[in-house]
Chains A and B, each alone.
Chain A
Amino acid sequence: MTAGLGSAVLALAFLIAVFAAVAALIGRDGNRRWIDISRRALYGLFALLTLCVVIIEIAFASDDFSFNIVQQHSSIETPTFYKLAAMWSSQEGSLLLWAWVLSIASSLALYATRNKLREIVPYATAVMAGIAAFFTGLMLFAGGVNPFAKLSPAPLDGIGLNPLLQHPSMMIHPPMLYSGYVAFTIPFAFAIGALITRRLDAAWIRSTRRFALIAWAFLGFGLLLGARWSYTELGWGGYWAWDPVENAALMPWLMGTAFLHSIMVQEKRGMLKVWNACLIVATFSLALLGTFLVRSGVLQSIHAFGDSTVGPYILGLIAVVLVGSTGLIVSRLDDLRSEKRIDSLASRESVFLVNNLLLVALVVAIFWGTFFPLISELFTGDKSSLAAPWFDRYTTPLAIVLVLFTGIGPLLAWRRVSWDSAKRVFLVPAIVGALAGLGLALFTDAGGKPWALALFAFAAFALTGLAQEFWRGAAARRSLHGGTMPASLVAVVARNRRRYGGYIVHAGIAVLLIGIAASSSFQTKQDVRLRPGQSAVVDGYTVTYVRPTAKVDKLAFTAGAALRIEKDGKSFLLHPTRRFYRPTGVEGGTISNYFAGESDSEIGLRAGFLRDFWTALQPSIVGIQRHARAADKGFEACVSGAPGTPPQCRAVSQLMRAAAANPSLRPTALAQIESLQVATAQRIAQGYLSEDAIATFRVIVNPLVTWIWIGGLISLAGALIAIWPARGARRRPAADTELEALKEAKYREIRDAELDHAAGKLSDEDFALLDAELRKEAVEILDAEQPAEPV
């Protein structure tokens, strides 16, 4: 019944999305009524899709296996938390998630702009509603991806969720990535609106900047969670493999990073308009491409989620987006001319431009490598693929230069910087960076790895420069307002969230890249084969296989090992295990079934700030399999009641015969058999423990890897600070109108310049010049206010 309701609600959602798009287009010439109606229709879409999600979640929570999606991705024994998160492990569920998140983001965006951007909003609404209609329509009409598809008769149990995916970070990872992909729709939609209406000043950027930042933060956090999952769950020990689907999420993130920087140049200087329009179109297309790659199976990837029916449709949407947007940008080139020119190469805007080019080059290289199998097939007829070393060759130098620029950018002021002020701000960071490089080259083995060494030196430069920025900002505030240094620091950050949030992101990225460089250049990875009692030495650590462990329960057979790690008289224990899951959804079965299902690793990890000690176990299961096969035979003989079998066997075989005739006895018989299976498996486990079987251990000593996660979290915190609205803006409803927003922005720019001057980044002359320019621009805005636009 509820499935039918769900289908109906979904169909209604599709209709309302189409209606919203049409209503917005009717209201495009400023008809308030229709614009209001289209906005409310999108709120309605949000309500309907929320209802769809709720229905699906209830079905999962209540084990309603008449829902195909529930039967395929959950089971009675699946833990509740994973039941609730299993929706997006399916294709149809993730499409629903896409549409739902889009309805949330567009409702928020339309609420925030309800009194602003009168001309742009109708077109932006139409774009957002159109994309929502596309995804809801896909679920309804593409075939095989309706989340409300039913099974009749309803099975008694489901297949269950792949145990590999039963990991907390794996459950948050997909919605984070999807939210990131989806939130980029908002700036894209407003960019299209701005292009159509030729309102190409920075107004659309001011209204959607926060969404771009949210998208960027979500996507980044999703990537971080995926890396963490790979590191702790896959028994492989790496966090990044240049897998096509990883690349698919990284590319829009990098492009979004470029966009977030270059829109500041348009906001402050009215430049780079074509570039910004191209960047957001590229970012959104890459986000769609990410959705497509995960689901299409076009490229060989670890994330091959089966054959998909929606791939061609998404590809079609990407084509429409690319062709339509490009045509639109080309037809608006005259309106996209810059209002100003770059004053000087030594300015923040020119550094941003360089950073943009580097990021785009990075995306181009990754894109080429990712799609190389298709490209080579086109030219040579052979699908050839590129491995990680090829990617590293391009991404390493580009990442190193980018780190340098994360340090340079914040040290430069907008418009122009005189030699004197540059000397003042660059002196200390440059010295620290050089000393760090020199020290590491002389006193550590970093000297042998020039790339890593360069990265460490540049990161030291960047981090010092950023620390100096915080210090100078706080000192400037203190000299003006008094108070303690920590209080001034908090105040200056709170009053300039965007600036200092951004600096914190930079610091986090520098830290993260230090972690990546150190762990990839200086890790020791070794596979050792040990019998219980034996030891091996890895990177100065003595690794002793103390004893095997084994555990059997209804779900899985778990083989484990106790490892003692010793160095310099200190020792600790690690317990890597490998679980062999019984296939679920199969009734009865054999003993060897225990070893036929999925298996996964629980790694033994000792994480530390200096290094991680990482171990995974690969037990030799040759002996176990031999025992299991023998047990299978014995078991068959037992249940067939062959002569010479123990008395309890005869009881079971009698019960089975009775059950064959009388179905009501089936559950009892199955329970009997299962307990017999578990008992047998337990005996096999005993055998495994006593046979001293050899086991293979992968041991990795990974320096500084923890800083990848710490750096990622620092960046996330910085992004949150930058996203959070300033205290004044929350109280004051003034910024609701476009003109107020413009005034606010100019006022902020003046304040920024004052801060830069007070912090010593701008010399007195530079500041006098800049301040005069800014005040003149502010007066122009105020003059323009006279023939006020209708409010």
Chain B
Amino acid sequence: MDPSRKRKIRLVVALSVAVLLAVALVYTSFSASSEAKEPSQLIGVSSGGSYEVTGRVVKRSVRHHGEGISFRVADRENAAQSIPVTYTGTIPDPFRGGREIVLAGTMKHGVFVGERDTLVTKCPSKFTTNSSDE
């Protein structure tokens, strides 16, 4: 086979692999992702769905129960819009009222039920002094 033809074949193979990878990326990412929602978008949703809620933990709303915790989470920009959350599993060290969190889970009777061990708390590089919370 002459070299230029060989090169062409190689190029076609490489490009098809690249296209395949791209298609796979697009396809799997749209099917595997979970919808990110702000609490205000979940107000009124009674049950079902698979969401990833992002928002700010309402200060002084955190309650420890035997195994888990419950708290309210509000929109980042609008503290008035909040939903109740229950969660069991690992609680990240930085978790506390006033912090931003990301949590996967589903809605049950108007309460966001967090999936075990999916609570992510944003790590602040700064201390915030006066946001004391229980």
Which residues in A have some Cβ–Cβ distance to B below 8 Å?
72-73, 89-90, 159-162, 164-165, 234-236, 300-306, 341, 357, 361, 364-365, 368-369, 372-373, 375-376, 382-387, 389-390, 393-394, 527, 529, 583-586, 589, 592-593, 595-601, 618, 620-622, 625, 694, 696, 698
Which one, B21, B32, B65, B130, contacts A390 given CB within 8 A? B32
Flag if B92 contacts A583 (CB, 8 Å): no
Interface residues as binary, B3-18 with A (CB distance below 8 Å gives 1, 0 otherwise):
1000000000010001
Q: Tell whether, in the assembled complex, residue B133 and residue A596 are in contact, meaning their CB atoms are under 8 Å apart.
A: yes
Knowing A357-B14, A365-B21, A387-B34, the reply to whether A527 touches B89 (Cβ < 8 A) is yes
CB of A587 to closest CB in B, whole Å? 11
User: Quick check: A376 and B33 within 8 Å, CB to CB?
Assistant: yes
Point out the residues of chain A lying under 8 angstroms from B132, CB to CB: 583, 586, 589, 592-593, 596-597
Using a CB-CB cutoff of 8 Å, which residues 104-123 of chain B contact chain A? Answer: 104, 120-123
User: How many chain B residues have a CB neighbour from A under 8 Å?
Assistant: 43
Q: Given A373-B36, A394-B25, A586-B129, are A300 and B102 neighbors across the interface (CB < 8 Å)?
A: yes
Decide: B123 and A302 in contact? CB cutoff 8 A: yes
A599 CA / B132 CA spacing, docked (Å): 12
- Is the pair B124, A385 in contact by a Cβ cutoff of 8 Å? no
Cα distance, A694 to B66, chains bound together (Å): 8
Contact A162 B130 (CB under 8 A): no
Asked if B82 is at the interface (CB within 8 A of a chain A CB), the reply is no
24 contacts between A and B (CB under 8 A): A72-B126, A90-B126, A159-B126, A159-B127, A162-B123, A162-B126, A162-B127, A164-B93, A300-B36, A300-B120, A364-B21, A365-B21, A372-B33, A373-B36, A384-B35, A384-B52, A529-B67, A583-B132, A585-B127, A595-B134, A618-B91, A620-B64, A620-B66, A622-B64
Say whether B123 contacts A90, CB under 8 Å. Answer: no
Given the complex of chains A and B, what is the CA–CA distance between A341 and B34 in angstroms?
47
Once the chains bind, are A236 and B36 in contact (CB under 8 Å)? Answer: no
Within B69-100, the residues touching A (CB, 8 Å) are 89-94, 96, 100
Say yes or no: A162-B133 contact (C-beta < 8 A), given A300-B54, A383-B36: no
A621 and B28: CB pair below 8 A? no
Given known contacts A384-B34, A600-B93, is B129 in contact with A583 (CB within 8 Å)?
A: yes
Chain A residues within 8 Å of B22, by CB: 364
A384, B67: Cα distance in complex, Å? 30
The minimal Cβ–Cβ distance linking A159 to chain B, given in whole angstroms, is: 5
Q: Is the CB of A368 within 8 A of B25?
A: yes
Give the CA-CA distance A618 to B93 in the complex, in Å.
10
Residues of B within 8 A of A300 (CB): 36, 54, 102, 120, 122
Residues of A within 8 Å of B67, CB to CB, are 529, 696
Give the docked Cα–Cα distance between A584 and B67 (Å).
30
Alpha-carbon separation in the docked complex, A601 to B93 (Å): 7
Contact A301–B122 (Cβ < 8 Å): yes
Kindly identify which residue among A303, A383, A390, A600 contacts B28, using a CB–CB cutoff of 8 Å: A390
Cβ B120 vs Cβ A165 within 8 A: no
A385 pairs with B33, CB closer than 8 A: yes
Complex: chain A residue closest to B104, CB-CB: A387
Minimum CB distance partner of A160 in chain B = B127
Which of A305, A599, A698 contacts B125, CB < 8 Å?
A305
The 10 closest A-B pairs by CB, nearest first: A384-B33, A596-B132, A383-B36, A304-B122, A600-B93, A305-B125, A159-B127, A585-B129, A390-B32, A368-B25
CB pair A303–B123 under 8 Å, yes or no, is yes
- Enumerate chain B residues within 8 angstroms of A385, measured Cβ to Cβ: 33-34, 36, 52
- For residue B74, give the distance in angstroms from its CB to the closest CB of chain A: 16
CA distance A369 to B33 in the complex (A): 10
CB distance from A335 to the nearest CB of B (A): 21
Beta-carbon nearest neighbor of B134 in chain A: A625
The answer to whether residues A235 and B93 also contact, given A302-B123, A303-B123 and a CB cut-off of 8 A, is: yes
Contacts of B25 in A (CB 8 A): 364-365, 368, 394
The answer to whether A235 touches B90, judged by C-beta atoms less than 8 angstroms apart, is yes
- The chain B residue sitting closest to A303, CB to CB, is B123
A365-B22 Cα distance, complex, nearest whole Å = 8
| A364-B29 Cα distance, complex, nearest whole Å | 13
CB B70 to nearest CB in A, in angstroms, measures: 12
Tell me, rounded to whole Å, the shortest Cβ–Cβ distance linking B65 to chain A. Answer: 8
Given A301-B122, A303-B123, A592-B134; A368-B129 close (CB under 8 Å): no
Residues in chain B near residue A527, CB distance under 8 A: 89-90
Given contacts A162-B123, A361-B21, A598-B96, 8 further A-B contacts (CB under 8 A): A303-B123, A386-B33, A387-B32, A389-B32, A394-B25, A583-B127, A618-B90, A621-B64
Inter-chain contact A384/B36, CB cutoff 8 Å: yes
Q: Is there an interface contact between B125 and A162, defined as CB atoms closer than 8 Å?
A: yes
In the complex, A393→B125 CA distance in Å?
32
Q: Is the CB of B32 within 8 A of A386?
A: yes
Query: Do B30 and A376 have beta carbons less than 8 Å apart?
Result: yes
With beta carbons under 8 angstroms apart, the residue of A236, A368, A586, A600 that contacts B130 is: A586
Provide the B49-73 mask, 1 if CB < 8 A to any CB of A, else 0: 0001010000000001111000000
Which residue of chain B is the closest to A583 with respect to CB atoms? B129
**CB-CB < 8 A to A618: which residues of B?**
90-91
Give, as a whole number of angstroms, the nearest-CB distance from A328 to chain B.
24
Query: Given contacts A160-B127, A300-B54, A306-B126, is CB(A698)–CB(B90) below 8 Å?
Result: yes
Which residue of chain B is the closest to A618 with respect to CB atoms?
A: B91
Task: State how many angstroms separate the Cβ of A719 from the closest Cβ of chain B.
Answer: 29
B129: A residues at CB distance < 8 A: 159, 583-586
Give the chain B neighbours of A90 by CB distance below 8 A: 125-126
Are B93 and A599 within 8 A (Cβ)? Answer: yes
Interfacial chain B residues near A364, Cβ < 8 Å: 21-22, 25
CA gap between A255 and B59 in the complex, in Å: 43
Q: Which residues of B contact A301 (CB under 8 A)?
A: 122
Determine the residue in chain B with the shortest Cβ distance to A579.
B93
Within 8 Å CB of B127, what residues of A? 159-162, 583-585, 598
Of B29, B35, B92, the contact of A236 (CB 8 Å cutoff): B92
- Minimum C-beta distance from A780 to chain B (A): 24
Do B93 and A234 have beta carbons less than 8 Å apart? yes
B132 closest partner in A (C-beta): A596
Rounded to whole angstroms, the CA-CA distance of A90 and B36 in the bound complex is 29
Closest chain A residue, CB of each to CB of B101: A300
Give Cα A2 to B34, complex, Å.
Answer: 51
Chain B's closest residue to A625 (CB) is: B134
Q: Are the C-beta atoms of B29 and A386 separated by less than 8 Å? A: yes
A369–B94 CA distance with the chains assembled, in angstroms:
25
Contacting A164 at CB < 8 Å: which of B3, B64, B123, B134?
B123
Complex CA–CA separation, A376 to B37 (angstroms): 13
In the complex, residue of chain B having the shortest beta-carbon distance to the beta carbon of A377: B36
Q: Which residues of B have CB within 8 Å of A375?
A: 29
Q: Are A598 and B126 in contact (CB under 8 A)?
A: no
Chain B residues contacting A373 (CB-CB under 8 Å) are: 36
A306 touches B125 (CB 8 A): yes
B94 A598 Cβ-Cβ under 8 A? yes
Minimal beta-carbon separation of A734 from chain B (angstroms): 39
Cβ contacts under 8 Å, B123 to chain A: 162, 164, 302-304
Least Cβ distance of A417 to chain B in Å? 18
Q: What separation, in Å, do the CA atoms of A266 and B64 have in the docked complex?
A: 62
By beta carbon, the residue of chain B nearest A582 is B132
**Closest A residue by C-beta to B102:** A300
Task: Give B22's nearest chain A residue, CB to CB.
Answer: A364
CB distance from A306 to the nearest CB of B (A): 7
